[in-house]
């Protein structure tokens, strides 16, 4: 997939998937911070490509281990996201993390 198609898919599908799987994502704050980093104009193009690829994999309905398999469904998604975030961690700013924390607090309040 190209960066442009990943960007379109992530823009369209990230938040519905994140809301649905919030309880299943052990490092949700990092994932949301990665989203904000990917769409920050100051983020280097290479970093955006890595993040958009990983985020697109997270939202794809068909992947190596289907998300519907209880206990295993998100393991491949989490491995891809964790690897991508580890690679670009130095590009994630405190502003990305603060925005992610605020967003997750709002999402959790909506689901209560």
> What is the model's pTM?
0.79
| DSSP count for the chain of H helices, then E strands | 5, 0
Distance CA 77, CA 55 (A): 9
Task: Return per-residue pLDDT of the chain as tens, 112 residues.
Answer: 556 778 888 888 888 888 877 766 778 899 999 999 999 999 999 999 999 999 998 887 665 555 545 555 667 778 889 999 999 999 999 999 999 999 998 888 876 5
pLDDT of residue 59: 84
Give the chain's domain count.
1
What domain range is 67 assigned to?
A: 3-18+27-111
């Amino acid at each position: 997939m190209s960066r442009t198609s990943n960007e379109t898919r992530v823009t369209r599908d990230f938040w519905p998937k994140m809301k649905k799987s919030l309880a299943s994502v052990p490092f949700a704050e990092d994932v949301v911070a990665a989203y904000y980093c990917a769409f920050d104009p100051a983020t280097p193009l290479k970093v955006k490509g890595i993040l958009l690829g990983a985020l697109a994999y997270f939202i794809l309905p068909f992947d190596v281990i289907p998300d519907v398999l209880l206990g295993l469904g998100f393991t491949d998604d989490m491995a891809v996201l964790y690897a991508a975030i580890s690679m670009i961690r130095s590009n994630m700013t405190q502003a990305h993390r603060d925005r992610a924390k605020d967003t997750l607090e709002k999402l959790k309040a909506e689901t209560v």
